[in-house]
Structure 1
Amino acid sequence: MKFPKADPQLAHLLEESLAGLEAHPRPMFGCPAWFAGSHMFAGVFGEYINLRLPPGPEQEEIMAAFPGAQVFEPFPGRRMKEYVSLPGRQARDGPAWRRWLRRSYDYALSLPPKPQKGK
């Protein structure tokens, strides 16, 4: 399956917004993504920025705060329940956007480390 190309301006915006955080980039679905520890917490997919948040009230809150936000679905029928997709234009919302990005980062850091894969 062919995935949409990441908007380079959104990738740059996300990278700038992560300044000061210990996040490392790595491609996911052929698009830029950022990891805290061993867990992905943010990425760009087409014209959307995806943030990892626990399912439930936090996801409902962010979807209410950012019109057009929805649970991330990289292709039909394959929902990633811990990720919310924000239309890229919403990420330019300054302080509110940065607070949600930080919450996503903190959530990823709260997760137990993934086990090392054997080589």
Structure 2
Amino acid sequence: MDRKSKRPAGAAKRPVGSGKTPPLRRSSRDLVSLLESSARSFPQVELRNVFGHSCGFVKGQMAFGLHREEFFIRLGEEDRDQLLLLEGAHHLEPVPGRRMREYVVLPEAVRATPQQLKRWLEMAVTYTAGLPPKPKKPAARKRA
């Protein structure tokens, strides 16, 4: 057993870049602009980048965001079920097989209609604001 890598002695190393994660693709400028302009309606929303994608946070919790060319929102169960009835809506799945239960991708028809988009974002912000704040992570200890 190789003590450093905890692999059996003589076991081959996995080649670099052989993981199953697809390469990072950024959201289009138009989609980023849509998210940023929509977020201005909600003063309690803080915009941050998560893995290179724009996302809106309320009290430390992600309420909505972008993943590649998908605009997703976080909803409670009843609203989520209602949104999933719309054609084109589906659960966010950033990695194949890893569905994020509370997050639903908005259909193109909703994104293209400002009133509908604002209505769904209001529901997402309201739901997320009602969640308990995320606990603060302890500060990392400095190495000597």
Please give the TM-score of this superposition, normalised by the length of structure 2: 0.75
Counterpart in the other structure of 1:12: 33
Using the alignment, how far apart are the partners of 2:75 and 2:49 within structure 1? 19
> Which one has the bigger strand percentage?
1
4+ runs of 1 displaced by more than 6 Å? none
Aligned-CA RMSD value:
1.5
Name stretches of at least 5 consecutive residues in structure 1 with no aligned partner.
none
> Which one has the bigger helix percentage?
1
Q: Describe the SS at the equivalent of 2:137.
A: coil
Q: Is the 8 A contact 2:110 2:116 kept in 1?
A: no
Q: What amino acid is the match of 1:98?
A: K
Name stretches of at least 5 consecutive residues in structure 2 with no aligned partner.
1-20, 140-144
Using the alignment, how far apart are the partners of 2:118 and 2:85 within structure 1? 16
Alignment of 1:17-36 (within 5 A): 17-21=38-42, 22-36=44-58
Using the alignment, how far apart are the partners of 1:109 and 1:36 within structure 2? 6
Counterpart in the other structure of 2:135: 115
Q: Is the 8 A contact 2:48 2:54 kept in 1?
A: yes
Is the radius of gyration larger for structure 1 or structure 2? Answer: 2
The alpha carbon displacement at 1:89 in A equals 5.3
Q: What amino acid is the match of 1:49?
A: F
Counterpart in the other structure of 2:65: 43
Q: Is the 8 A contact 1:52 1:83 kept in 2?
A: yes
Deviation sequence 1:42-79 (CA, Å, 0-9, x none): 1111111010012x3311211223x2110000011111
Q: Give the % identical residues.
A: 32
Q: What amino acid is the match of 2:62?
A: M
Q: Is the 8 A contact 2:88 2:108 kept in 1?
A: no
- Kindly indicate whether structure 1 or structure 2 has the higher relative contact order, using CA contacts under 8 Å at least 6 residues apart: 1
